[in-house]
Amino acid sequence: MDQNISTLILNLAYLIGSITFIIGLKMLSHPETARKGNMIAAVGMTIAILGTIFLKVGGDNVAIKYVIIFAGLIIGTVVGFIAAKKVQMTAMPEMVSLFNGMGGACAMLISLIEFHIDDKPAIGKLVIIVLGMIIGTVSFAGSIIAWGKLNGKIKDKTIPGGQIINFILFGGIIILSTVVIGGFAPDLTIYLFYGILSLAAIYGILFVMPIGGADMPVVISLLNSFTGVAAAFGGFLYDNPVMLTGGILVGSAGTILTILMCKAMNRSLKNVLIGSFGGAKAGVAGVAKEQGNFKEISLNDTAVLMAYAQRVMIIPGYGLAVAQAQHTCHELEKILEERGVEVVYGIHPVAGRMPGHMNVLLAEADVPYEKLLEMEDANDQMGSTNVVLILGANDVVNPAAKEDPASPIYGMPILEVEKAEHVIVNKRSMKPGYAGIENELFFRPKTSMLFGDAKKVLQNLIAELKQV
């Protein structure tokens, strides 16, 4: 094909890619258009990728290159498709984190190869290669740790002096990068380059390691924007507009999203990164208080209480997700409705492991949309609710957020369950929630505890209800 024409088509493909990313992101931020937006961005991405393969790849041994590229594309597509289709709804957050890590690793590898092909590039190119590698590596290492934490493979660890170590690592990365970029030690460049790579990997690991599980969505969102920036460096490297716009869009949108998520939890980003929710300091504030006794309630009493209520509000949390009890929960709701009890769900925006987690989970069980009340509506209706059933939620109903200025979650908006007549809390044990903070709600006079795995308890509750 004529060189000019193929360049024209390639540039058009990139332009289409950039435009679909913008439209896609815009549509993704409205519930009605979100799904279509995702599709549009996917189509744009496909066009940009195909354009690159057929109009950009050339040179010697083009056949071999095509074989390798298509082999990679096919493997990635099949594995990615199956993984994404098979993943449980509860495991989606860690899946996103894992995919994010893959993107980071891809950016890292691009820098590695570029450096391998030419280890004495012009200074501008070198800066881009080094920065792209650092950010890609941090994102990769951090995402893998976040993934491991979310699926329970890696436990929260506060490393003594962790912040100082991180600071030193960060300084080390800057110094080594300066030496490499400035060309101060030309003989050592290649070793220094891999030194930077190692430091960045360690930094990524230590950066995520101490952050409490409850804050993981925020961290994933932040790492997501990191990968965006790493992709944008690729755009600089190849003078490629679609990588640049796509990467920067995600970088900036991701940063804003991170801040929005922090706001939903009423925490500052700095707090999330340094304060470590589950850390030792946070625990003390709540525990120091006098705590009374809690009372348990039997399944039978719970069933009776709910059967004769006018309105029951179910407040789901991570416990529901872990127990995979969403379908059983929907069954309970149907049985109660048959008896003329109004059932609604009170959804806290950050209940579960990710914002919107509960909506997705309950939607999977076909719970009607109108039954899911957002926090404000739920709080408005709380006063006329007879029974609140809390299923594995903890921090989002912790009164300390309103009452105890010393509490690490003080100021976070919560579901004010105590306005209801009865509060029944289903938990597996008295252990504190994911944030590691004691919850005084469990000791309040209105509250009764119903211990056990959410799914089993709900199944038994349904059986009891059928007999009432």
Partner 1 sequence: MDFILHLFTEPASYRLITIVILSIFLGIEVISRVPAVLHTPLMSGANAIHGVVIIGAIIVMGEATDIFSQVLGFLAVVLGTLNVVGGFVVTDRMLEMFDKKKKK
Q: Which residues are catalytic?
A: 395
Cβ atoms of 416 and 382 within 8 Å: the answer is: yes
| Nearest C-alpha neighbor of 31 from the set 379, 367, 356 | 356
Q: Which of 2, 239, 296, 376 binds partner 1 (CB under 8 A)?
A: 239
End-to-end CA distance of the chain: 78
Q: Which of 142, 213, 254, 432 binds partner 1 (CB under 8 A)?
A: 254
User: What is the H or E stretch that residue 78 is in?
Assistant: helix 62-86
Q: Which of 150, 309, 321, 367 binds partner 1 (CB under 8 A)?
A: 367
Interactions with partner 1, residue window 289-308 (CB under 8 A): none
Q: Residue 92, interface with partner 1 (CB under 8 A)?
A: yes
The backbone torsions φ and ψ at residue 427, rounded to the nearest 5 degrees and listed phi first, read -145, 165
Q: Which lies closer to partner 1 via its Cβ, residue 56 or residue 444?
A: 56
Q: Residue 357, interface with partner 1 (CB under 8 A)?
A: yes
Q: Residue 164, interface with partner 1 (CB under 8 A)?
A: no
Interactions with partner 1, residue window 219-238 (CB under 8 A): 220-221, 224-225, 227-228, 230-232, 234-238
Beta strands 387-391; 422-427: pairing state: parallel
Q: Which listed range, 250-258, 279-287, 328-336, 420-428, lies at the site for partner 1 (CB under 8 A)?
A: 250-258
User: What is the H or E stretch that residue 316 is in?
Assistant: strand 311-316
Binding-site size for partner 1 (CB under 8 A) equals 119
Q: Residue 275, interface with partner 1 (CB under 8 A)?
A: no
Quick note: the x/- pattern for partner 1 over 255-274, rule CB under 8 A, is xxx--xx--x----------
Q: Residue 76, interface with partner 1 (CB under 8 A)?
A: yes
Q: Residue 276, interface with partner 1 (CB under 8 A)?
A: no
Determine whether 392 is exposed, middle or buried from the number of CB atoms within 10 Å of its CB (0-12, 13-18, 19+).
Answer: buried
Give least dist CB 429 to partner 1, A: 28
Q: Residue 120, interface with partner 1 (CB under 8 A)?
A: no
The backbone torsions φ and ψ at residue 252, rounded to the nearest 5 degrees and listed phi first, read -80, -45
Q: How many CB atoms lie within 10 A of CB 453?
A: 17
Q: Convert 330-363 to b/e letters by CB count within 10 Å (16 or more is b).
A: bbbbebbeeeebbbbbbbbbbbbbbbebbbebbe
Give least dist CB 247 to partner 1, A: 6
β partners of residue 200: none
CA distance 278 to 268: 15
Interactions with partner 1, residue window 307-346 (CB under 8 A): none
Q: Residue 39, interface with partner 1 (CB under 8 A)?
A: yes
Give the DSSP letter of residue 325.
-
Q: Which listed range, 119-127, 208-216, 335-343, 431-439, lies at the site for partner 1 (CB under 8 A)?
A: 119-127
Q: Which of 7, 35, 171, 292 binds partner 1 (CB under 8 A)?
A: 35
Give least dist CB 427 to partner 1, A: 24
